[in-house]
Amino acid sequence: MKTLLTGGAGYIGSHTAVAMLEAGHEVAVVDNYYNSSPEAIRRVEQITGKAVTLYEADVADKDAMRKILKAEMPDCIIHFAGLKAVGESVAKPTEYYRNNIDTTLTLLECMKELGLSNIVFSSSATVYGEDNIPPFYETMPKGVCTNPYGWTKWMQEQILRDAWYADKEMSVVLLRYFNPVGAHESGLIGEDPQGIPNNLMPYISQVAVGRRDHLTVFGDDYDTPDGTCRRDYIHVMDLAEGHVKAAEYSVEHRGTEVFNLGTGNPYSVLDMVKAFGDACGHPIKYEIGPRRAGDVQDSWANADKAREVLGWEAKRGIDEICRDAWKWQSTNPQGYGE
């Protein structure tokens, strides 16, 4: 199968490129490197020994995308390109709505022009909002989001669903990721956040490698066994393999389908701190701080549908997650920037 990965040089896209190539599919990537580096794709080629066709373009640029899609005519598009920092989205809402919505509309318009019908989309567990109680099922109503980033995902899901409603020859697969973490086991590719990390695992990794002094745990007074929030941390290679199954499904089925990509197992912040300390061989220094605005206490998936329909389930646990994150961080302490 020929695939086109928008935002494929980013964290999840680059790992998915590896999984796609290893499953025998062809991969082309389009990225503007807003939050990534072409070095990630060079390393994908190094891991797999296979070539990736790489385009530098803005996915919201219709002329550029028309040319790229005409050249590739992919069987399936996986749409990763987007801005993803929750806090930044509160400060710069129009940039988030513009980029995330425009890229999706441009893709849909070009797909229609060229008769391309299959798209897999990077959605997020954030669309379940604050009021649903975990485990989250795909059948639950979407919730009220707490930030513009979350609303872009909520709206992109709706836009894609409406596009299918108007054209039943389309196949739309909406993947709701839980908390993607870890790195490829080679240590060659991984998450490379710019500036101070917002997310837990990159922050812990940078403390472990000595780039930051200590982690601040955002609140230990939640109604959970150790008082810290619980999440469904999923190894990025498990997530990547879920995309292979979703893309294969998309070419064989018409309709709009939603799948949670999570493990179904919640772990607390302190569970992750402990597991990372075990993986890197020294304890992670942390202090307890106040709660972070907008955090939900608990989030985890019911992962039955992906297992039953796609034949996919997460295989790696938090020990592999921490082992691989540590390998990436310790061998690339400055990310791709070195």
Known catalytic residues? 149
* Least distance (Å) between residue 168 CB and ligand WQD: 29
Partner whose binding site includes residue 7, from ligand WQD, ligand NAD, none (CB under 5 to 8 Å by kind): ligand NAD
Q: Does the protein bind ligand NAD through residue 232 (CB under 6 A)? A: no
Position among 11, 128, 151, 203 found at the interface with ligand WQD (CB under 6 A): 203
Cβ 270 to ligand WQD, closest distance in Å? 9
Measured CA to CA, the distance from residue 16 to residue 242 in angstroms comes to: 9
Could you give the CA distance from residue 198 to residue 245 in angstroms, rounded to a whole number?
Answer: 30
Cβ atoms of 13 and 28 closer than 8 Å: no
124 near ligand NAD, rule: CB under 6 A: yes
| Residue 156 contact, options ligand WQD, ligand NAD, none, Cβ 5-8 Å cut-off depending on partner type | none
Instruction: For residues 278 and 264, give the distance between their C-alpha atoms in angstroms, rounded to a whole number.
Output: 23
Per DSSP, helices labelled H in the chain are 11-22, 39-48, 62-72, 86-91, 93-114, 148-166, 200-208, 236-252, 269-280, 304-305, 318-331
Distance in angstroms (rounded) separating the CA atoms of residues 261 and 282? 31
Q: Does 127 bind ligand WQD (CB under 6 A)?
A: no
Reduced to 3 states, what is the DSSP secondary structure of residue 56?
Answer: strand
Tokens representing 175 are 């993947």
- Residue 183's binding partner, choosing from ligand WQD, ligand NAD, none, with beta-carbon cut-off 5 to 8 A by kind? none
217 binds ligand WQD (CB under 6 A): yes
Nearest CA to 74 out of 29, 18, 109 is that of: 29
- Size of residue set near ligand WQD by CB under 6 A: 18
Which residues, numbered 242-271, are part of the site for ligand NAD (CB under 6 A)?
A: none
User: Which residue, 187 or 262, has its beta carbon nearer to ligand NAD?
Assistant: 262
Q: How far is the CB of 217 from ligand NAD (least distance, A)?
A: 19
DSSP string, 151-208: HHHHHHHHHHHHHHHH-TT-EEEEEEE-EEE---TTSSS----SSS--SHHHHHHHHH
Going residue by residue from 249 to 288, which x/- string records binding to ligand WQD, judged by CB under 6 A?
--------------------x-------------------
DSSP code of residue 34: T
State in angstroms the smallest separation of the CB of 213 from ligand WQD. Answer: 12
Closest CB to ligand WQD among residues 198, 331: 198
Partner touching 145 among ligand NAD, ligand WQD, none, CB below 5 to 8 Å by kind: none
DSSP 250-266: HHH--EEEEEEES-S--
| CB nearer ligand NAD, residue 231 or residue 327 | 231
Tokens of 99: 């980029």
User: Contact between 39 and ligand NAD (CB under 6 A)?
Assistant: no
Q: Alpha carbon of 274 to those of 235, 283, 284, 326: distances in Å? A: 17, 7, 7, 13
Q: Which spans of this chain sit near ligand NAD (rule: CB under 6 A)? A: 7, 9-13, 31-36, 58-60, 80-84, 99, 103, 122, 124, 177, 180
Site residues (vs ligand WQD, CB under 6 A):
84, 86, 124, 126, 179, 198-200, 203, 215-218, 229, 231, 269, 292, 295
